[in-house]
Structure 1
C-alpha cells in the first residue's frame, strides 16, 4: 500500500474545494448507494482541497480535490483506486493537513489507535469528521477523542446518523498506552492493533479450541491454515508446536494480518500471512488442517455470509482426509452445515457457550 502523501491524486483537472456537499442532490451518489452517514460526513465537512477517507470507501467517489483512502477490510479495496490507497498506520509525516472523513469504529481501542496515529502524522490544522449510526455511538467515543484533541463536538442527528468533529490536536495527549498492545499467553508474546477482536488477549472460544491443540497438531502433516487469524494466537501456537510445518494465517482485516505478523516476529516463528478474503491465496486441496473461530458479524451488523464463505473455502483447500477444526457459539448451526457440505463431523467438546467440532473432508 502507498504510504506517502505523494500518493494523493487529483480527482479533477483542477483542485475543487470540498465543502458542505448536498450529495443527496448530486450525480456522484445515486439513490441506490446513498447512506445517511456518508451524506452527513460530506455535508458537515469544512472546506478543503485535500481529503483522507478512512473506512468509508463509498465516499472516495464523492470527495473532490486531492484524495487518499484506506480501508482495513480488503473487501473494500475494490472501491478504492490503487493509486490513492494510503495506510495511516504506516504513513510517514505529511506535508499538509487534510480533512479526514472516517467511519467511527465500534471498538474504542481501534478509535484510540487511529486517532493517536492521526494525531502524530497530521498538522496542527487537522480536522477529523467521523460518522456512524447513533445506535452504535457512545459518550465514551468523545472521551477517547478528548485524549488526543482539544475540540470534540457532535453534530445533530440526521436520519439516525451523527458525526463527531475532532480538531485542535493536544500538545500533550493523555496517552493510556501504546499500540500495538502486547500480552503474554502460554509463554507466547501476542501483539495486536486496536481493531483486532479481543486485541492482544484470548477470547473464551479460542481458549477452548487451544485446549485441543495437541489433537489439532496431530492432524497436520505439512500444512495448516488459521482462517480468520485475528492476533495470531492460534497460528503462533501451531507454529511453535510444529516448526517443520508451513502455517498460513489469513484475514480480511489488515490490522489482524499485521498483528499476526508482529506476533510471529516477536516469537521468532515462521507464519505465512495473507491479507485476503477467505482462502483465495491457498491452492485447491493443498492443506491438511484448517482451524477457525469464524465471525458472525461484519462491523456492527450480524452477518453469517462471511462464515458460510469461509467454510466453503475450507472445503476447497483441504486435502481429502484433511480436517476442519472449528469453534463457534452454541446457537449457530455450523455442525449440521459442515457435515452436509464437507464431511463426517463430530463434536469434540461443548460448554455453556461454545462448541468445538472436527470435520473430515470427504
Structure 2
C-alpha cells in the first residue's frame, strides 16, 4: 500500500511563501496593466476578468502542476489580457522545474498565441508585430531567468552530491585502512604466539611422555616452559598495546633477531642450521621483517609437523638482485605430529610477501621433507 506521506508535496518554506506572494502580486499588477490598455466589451470582457482571476489564483498551485498551470494560462492568454501576468509566471515556473524541451514547447505556444491576442485587443493591425516582439522579449526574459535558477539549483545539487560522495569515499577508505590494520595485527599475533606456543607444546609434551625423566631435565624443561610462557605474554602484551596505533607501529623484528629465534628452537631440541649471507644492517626494514616471519613460521611448522627433522635456513641476496630466504626440513624421524594440520600461517606469509612485491612458494620435497622459499625485492 502506498504511503500517503510519500506522495504529499514538500511543505512550503518561508522563502517559498515570499516568492509565491511576489509572483502573485506581479501577475495581478501585470494583468491589470494589460486590461487597462486593451479591455474587451461585453461577455468577452467578463471572460477576460474571470480568466485573469483564475490565472492569478493558480500561481499558488504552480509548484505542484507547473506544466498544467503554464499550459492553461498560456491558452487563456490568446484572448485574456488579465491572465498575461500569470502566463509570464507560468513560463518562468516551467523553466525552473522542467527540462528545456518542455520550456521551449510552452514558450513557442505562447508566441504563436500572441498574434490572435493582438488582433482581438487592438484595432490597428500594425500593433501586431510590436506586441508580438514585446511579448516575445518578456517571455524570453522570464524563461531565461527561470533557466538560470534551474541551472544554479542543479549546480548546487551536484556539489552537494559530490560532497556526500567524497564523505562516503573517505569513510570507505578509513574502513579499509582499519581492516588492513586488523589483518596485519592478526598476522602478527599468529606469527608471534604460534612460535611461542609451539615451544610450550614441545616441552610440555616431553614432560608428559617422560614422567620418569631425571630431575635436572624436568627442571630444565619447566624452566623453558616458564620462560616461553612469560615471553608469550610479553609478546601478546606488546601486540595488544599497539591495537589502536598506526600500522607502522606494530612490532618490527629485524634480521639481527634471527640468532635468538634459532637459539630458542635449538633449546627446544630442534636441529637447525643457519646460513645468512647478507649483512644484517643493509637489508631494508620491510624485507627484514618478512624474512624473520618466514623463518619463524617455517621453524614453527617443522616443530609441529616434522618432529625430529633437521631444518636448514638460508638467507642470501643483494641490492638489485633481491633477497631469497629458504626454510627446508628433512623427512621427520617419526610420524608427523598427531592432530596437527596446517592452518593459515603460510597463506598469510604469501600475502605478506606479495604486499612487498615478492613471492612465496611452499610444498613437499622429493625426500619427504617440506620447503618454504621466498623472493623479496631489494632495490639497488
Taking structure 1 as the reference length, the TM-score comes to 0.22
Q: Kindly indicate which of the two structures has a greater share of residues assigned to strand.
A: 1
- Kindly indicate whether structure 1 or structure 2 has the higher relative contact order, using CA contacts under 8 Å at least 6 residues apart: 1
Q: Kindly indicate which of the two structures has a greater share of residues assigned to helix.
A: 2
Larger of the two Rg values belongs to structure: 2
